[in-house]
Structure 1
């Protein structure tokens, strides 16, 4: 048996909205034939479901049988052996939109072939918390993708459609506070419960409620093995060809690329309420305060709800937040006060206080709060390390847009290419899980997509340094661009509409030059200066994204590792000479008893 440095052992804890991880202090033991091991200690209850590919999407909720089990901590007691075994093609950790998207496309019967997928997550049966908003044209592209996999999503997923989108950037650059910028691009609210259901093909329980202490994940040349243990002590081994980690932004199952300096993530923080409002004193029922009910309000960056010269106003100008408003049916509206991106993160309490102050100033009286939402989204940060077996996807692969925080459409669209290459690899007669993982990563982060991300990372850094005046000027200029330019930047992922305006160095250069020409002079000068200082401090990534002279970033292409066999002749000679030697070998022992003289 070979002992592994405990600092190389990574532990996972699955929490409600993301995976928070820590380094295990426990030494792990594995056999010499194992490639690597990941102990999953400290995980709370986690539910696993087998995806049954022979079924189409259900139209009603699924009631699944559940039993309790635990991932066995092989690190603490490696002598126990499994009493039963289970196998699957792909083990997916997590059950959010990213996890269910990739599981759905892998288990779908596309091209007359489907694969067994096992979902494992502590919150499989729990409702999704976020209120998801998407651009209509992007959602239509996603629907086409899923139809191509024989998994139609359907219009039932759309809860509310607004044919236009409003913004308020008044208070700076001679823009009146009441001035409304209208964007003629339809916006949708996703019915999260329906989306969760249609991304949940009929499933049956295999091993449910995985909880602490959790166990080991061992990779070998043909796949991955995980030990699980039930409450009554029964131990099972789950065997998968591939593991996809969708446990969230801060997963430590997926290793981060630390070979070069990386900018730490920024954080989007938001406090939201799904509320009923008093409309008895509202003169025009087409509006709720300034918010038109037939439009979705994407940004309200005004600060006139704070007294002039107050400490609250000073804080709001230095660390800006905006109101995001989704009018629903009747007098129900979703309000959310959002810090777009900041490092360190703004507090939830600050967002909540600003939300309530703004609503009071606007004459909006909340009579009932149906839900509260606490939104925490890391943006940017390092990409996954190359040459690792576990495939990160969604937040675990840093797929969140580093400037805007958009994620749902990026993950659901990105699942298509990842599922495609995994399907191709699973069909290969010469199965190679390392090659499959590398190809999956390259489907997410190709050199072209990394270059596009590097451009957006700069955007996030620039936004973080702006006060409210800078942000008003930034977005007022941004939305004066042609829709194809600004629309392609907000989500920015291959396959989504308008991405062609951002996926090449030339397209990004044209976008950047056109954008600067739309900005107020002070913001434009600040941006040009930031481009220079950022390029000096961070080096190649930004210049590389807007010029052909520096080539493209390295991708995740699979490169077969050559076996190191050393000098065979020398080793044969040593073996022959050892065998021929007449010198008696001294075998070392821990203790030697000395006899009395």
Structure 2
């Protein structure tokens, strides 16, 4: 079901942001140093080829430097946005005037001889949640990272956000969610779906940080080293050094400069989506229902072009009878499907459907790395959220998991730091390694590793399927018992449940899909890794 959950929480980014004007594109181009065509959302591929580390000569060769300076390696660069990095930066740079600045609400971290219990690096949902929960348990917590707003809204299953006590952060709810595969008969999921307000979510998490006593420093972390005492020294821009007993990186998937990842793991894949919120004539969808996936082929196989090589679906949030958020989504690909191709495919789809756009309110560029290696769990620096590879490999889903696990992980960290032998100073390297390993084992126990190995196997399968294979897969998936399909999407199935899931899928799938599953298990490396991980005691 790997493809399905792409539009789950982390995979869905919706922000009310106007189409970028030519003057703003020019200003951003000058700030970033990348060529942007002012007439469209298009990046010079030649410049990005150089930026990716090419050896092209001439005046553009300087564009290779930011890759070496800003990212640990090629994998880290891909996680940050790779060839689509400019669009990712455009998404991150959106203006959100209504969101509070962290520096206006949180006291500044004291420097000098002050030693914090915990430093959390990164100010996204995962970082804010972990900082707030840790401070609530009595730890002296500092939060470090650029003071940036949440530029993405998220789509969530309403019941999951209610379980987190965050239902007030949902700004629009659809009582049912449907899927179209290969005909005009929708499949009802029978589950309410909500659009989260990025403003309300940011304010709620910030309020929790304020109430629990988190301090803050708006800067970029350059590296983390170890002091002779065993403390962590977080070195920031401007020669600022913050001392702490433990440091946790929650700065997103591209955190390779601060963390070590396992060598020889699976290559990271990418989920991309281009969306627009528009006023339309001839809205084809019922405004009371959210369209989770529409895999119907509106092009009728008449187009043989580059964008036709990527299986994609349409995701639609009807906000009113005439206002709709449409998003063309590539669930996963080994190389990111370019946003320009996604945009072309979306516009062609809407035109073929007879949808006439009257006004465009916003553009959206969603880029989610999926799969890849786990962090090295023997390192002393900790991680959380996407930096800790907590994104669901088969769905792109992560924020609900981060928000739900933050209290548990904070409790583990607090219990570790309150142990008698580490309560004062980490007197030697062995103790430092031991407490870090305790935290890593709590975040990534063997059970979680088994689940992830199963999801990686599923991701690899989706990467191999064409559009017909994906439709066949989902026809089987939506025949599963609801507890099974919903548990898969929400990462709540145990490793044993996942084996039952696989058996059930095999039984109800058509023969072609059964053959595909068997061949995939035998021939793909993720199959052997999954079996090995399940057999590990």
TM range (shorter): 0.7 to 0.9
TM normalised by structure 2 equals 0.74
Judged with a 3 Å threshold, the aligned counterparts in structure 2 of structure 1 residues 211 and 114 are, in CA distance, closer, same or farther, namely: closer
For the pair shown, the structure with the greater C-alpha radius of gyration is 1
In structure 1, what is the equivalent of residue 327 of structure 2? 336
In structure 2, what is the equivalent of residue 168 of structure 1? 180
Q: Secondary structure at the match of 1:514?
A: helix
Q: Distance in 2 between matches of 1:386 and 1:456?
A: 20
Q: Secondary structure at the match of 1:310?
A: coil
Aligned residues: 433
1:210 aligns with one of 189, 203, 219: 219
1:120-199 equivalent positions in 2, closer than 5 A:
120-122=144-146, 124=147, 126-143=148-165, 153=166, 155-170=167-182, 177-199=183-205
Q: Is the 8 A contact 1:221 1:433 kept in 2?
A: no
Q: Is the 8 A contact 1:159 1:189 kept in 2?
A: yes
Q: Distance in 1 between matches of 2:193 and 2:215?
A: 39
Confirm whether residue 379 of structure 1 aligns to residue 379 of structure 2.
no
Q: Is the 8 A contact 1:254 1:390 kept in 2?
A: yes
Confirm whether residue 526 of structure 1 aligns to residue 532 of structure 2.
no
In structure 1, what is the equivalent of residue 287 of structure 2? 293
2:412 aligns with one of 387, 396, 421: 421
Judged with a 3 Å threshold, the aligned counterparts in structure 2 of structure 1 residues 220 and 156 are, in CA distance, closer, same or farther, namely: farther
Q: Secondary structure at the match of 1:405?
A: coil
Where do 5+ consecutive residues of structure 2 fail to align? 1-68, 74-88, 90-97, 423-430
In structure 2, what is the equivalent of residue 147 of structure 1? none
Query: Higher RCO, 1 or 2 (CA under 8 Å, sep at least 6)?
Result: 2
TM normalised by structure 1 equals 0.67
Q: Distance in 2 between matches of 1:237 and 1:350?
A: 44
Judged with a 3 Å threshold, the aligned counterparts in structure 2 of structure 1 residues 251 and 329 are, in CA distance, closer, same or farther, namely: same
The structural deviation recorded for 1:525 is: 1.6
In structure 1, what is the equivalent of residue 454 of structure 2? 455
Judged with a 3 Å threshold, the aligned counterparts in structure 2 of structure 1 residues 356 and 102 are, in CA distance, closer, same or farther, namely: same
In structure 1, what is the equivalent of residue 267 of structure 2? 264
Q: Is the 8 A contact 2:111 2:242 kept in 1?
A: no
In structure 2, what is the equivalent of residue 116 of structure 1? 140
Aligned-residue CA RMSD (Å): 2.9
The structural deviation recorded for 1:324 is: 0.8
In structure 2, what is the equivalent of residue 311 of structure 1? 304
Where do 5+ consecutive residues of structure 1 fail to align? 1-18, 24-43, 45-58, 72-81, 144-152, 171-176, 283-287, 493-498, 553-597
1:22 aligns with one of 43, 59, 72: 72
In structure 2, what is the equivalent of residue 363 of structure 1? 354
Q: Is the 8 A contact 2:286 2:321 kept in 1?
A: no
**Residues 121-154 of structure 1, C-alpha deviation per residue, up to 9 Å, x if partnerless?**
12x2x332223111122223323xxxxxxxxx4x
The structural deviation recorded for 1:86 is: 3.8
Q: Is the 8 A contact 2:179 2:188 kept in 1?
A: yes
In structure 2, what is the equivalent of residue 246 of structure 1? 250
Q: Distance in 1 between matches of 2:132 and 2:367?
A: 26
Q: Secondary structure at the match of 1:437?
A: helix
- Structure number with the higher helix fraction is 2
Q: Is the 8 A contact 1:274 1:334 kept in 2?
A: yes
The structural deviation recorded for 1:20 is: 5.3
